[in-house]
């Protein structure tokens, strides 16, 4: 069937190809507006927070493992002070001869008392409790559980009441919990991406329904599905960019505030979770991914709906 002469001559005069400003004028301003930029801003802000938390936890775990790798502590538990000092001297001689030990340091009793003071208190409370002798040990790389068991057996034979604890094994449950939190943060990122795509899908369907008659006329004028989809892509692009930038700024400010709060704790493990320049660069990419997901979702939604509509 041939096109009506009026429409045919209009297409020949330049209504096709249907794109650019001509497309924007033929279709009404299909600005998504409304809540969509704000929804995208919230999604991006939460994603930046979740991604920043995941990166901070990853840095914290890596830093803690690096600091604790090959570190161990020997405890000499003996109520009598003189006997404790004698056993500590025996332990020091044994560690000096062990091939798996790179170095060690006997912790002064005053330092041990200072470490325990928050729990035991000072003065008479500290004197009533016999303090163990502590020796910090640095082991060679690759020292495993079998080597630790061998060293502990030798310590028990030479100085009964002595034990060696690997700091990495001692904090393994803490590091495992941090890893679990990191995976939860990553799962939240994917959930937020899905939620943002669903919001764009609903908005696209709503805008298409409100412009059905105009779209049918545009089809008669020579516009195809791909050209019409570009109009909606352009609309969601502006909203997604505005919402993404607002969400990035909000999320970055929240991360900075949280970082200052945690820095006030003055904890060595927490300090290892600070974000590097590369981490901030990764966070800056979050709005780009949000814009890409929004534009792609809008395009696919519009094209599929047009195929069913016309």
Q: Give tens-digit pLDDT for 6-37.
A: 334 443 444 444 444 554 444 444 444 567 88
**Claim to verify: residue 203 and residue 131 sit in the same structural domain:** no
Cβ(247)–Cβ(45) under 8 Å?
yes
| Cα distance between residue 199 and residue 308, in whole Å | 21
**Quick check: is 244 in a domain?**
yes
Cβ(59)–Cβ(255) under 8 Å?
no
Q: What is the pLDDT of residue 265?
A: 66
Cβ(230)–Cβ(23) under 8 Å?
yes
Q: What is the pLDDT of residue 248?
A: 93
User: Rounded to 10 degrees, what is the CA torsion of 257, 262, 268, 271?
Assistant: -20
- Among 108, 126, 160, the domain boundary falls at 160
**Claim to verify: residue 250 and residue 139 sit in the same structural domain:** no
Dig out the tokens for 111 from the structure. Answer: 């330092």
Q: Give the pTM.
A: 0.69
**Claim to verify: residue 154 and residue 231 sit in the same structural domain:** no
Q: Give the residue numbers spanning the domain of 154.
A: 78-160
135 pLDDT higher than 70:
yes
Angle between helices 172-210 and 36-68 in degrees, nearest 10:
160
SS3 294: helix
Angle at CA 93, nearest 5°, toward 87 and 94?
Answer: 90
Give the residue, 110 or 291, on which the prediction is more confident.
291
**Quick check: is 23 in a domain?**
yes
What is the number of alpha carbons within 13 Å of residue 231 lying toward its C-beta?
Answer: 24
**Claim to verify: residue 177 and residue 264 sit in the same structural domain:** yes
């Amino acid at each position: 069937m041939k096109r009506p002469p009026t429409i045919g001559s209009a297409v020949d005069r330049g209504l096709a190809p249907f794109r650019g400003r001509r497309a924007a004028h033929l279709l009404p301003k299909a600005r998504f507006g409304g809540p969509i930029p704000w929804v995208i801003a919230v999604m991006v802000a939460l994603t930046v927070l979740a991604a920043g938390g995941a990166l901070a936890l990853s840095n914290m775990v890596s830093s803690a493992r690096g600091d604790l790798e090959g570190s161990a502590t020997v405890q000499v538990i003996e109520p009598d002070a003189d006997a404790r000092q004698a056993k500590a001297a025996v332990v020091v001689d044994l560690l000096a001869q062990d091939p798996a030990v790179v170095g060690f340091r006997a912790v002064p009793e005053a330092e041990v008392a200072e470490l325990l003071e928050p729990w035991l208190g000072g003065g008479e409370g500290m004197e009533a409790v016999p303090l163990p002798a502590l020796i910090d040990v640095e082991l060679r790389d690759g020292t495993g559980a079998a080597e630790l068991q061998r060293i502990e057996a030798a310590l028990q034979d030479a100085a009964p009441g002595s034990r060696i604890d690997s700091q990495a094994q001692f904090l393994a449950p803490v590091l495992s919990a941090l890893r679990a939190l990191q995976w939860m943060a990553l799962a939240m990122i994917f959930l937020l991406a899905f939620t943002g795509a669903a919001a764009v899908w609903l908005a696209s369907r709503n805008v298409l329904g409100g412009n059905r008659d105009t779209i049918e006329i545009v089809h008669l004028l020579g516009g195809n599905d791909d050209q019409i989809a570009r109009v909606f892509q352009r609309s969601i692009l502006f909203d997604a960019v505005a919402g993404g930038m607002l969400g990035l700024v909000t999320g970055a400010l929240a991360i900075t505030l949280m970082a200052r709060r945690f820095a006030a704790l003055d904890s060595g493990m927490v300090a290892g979770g600070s974000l590097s320049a590369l981490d901030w660069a990764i966070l800056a990419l979050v709005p780009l991914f949000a814009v890409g997901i929004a534009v792609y979702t809008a395009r696919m939604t519009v094209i599929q709906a047009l195929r069913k509509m016309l």
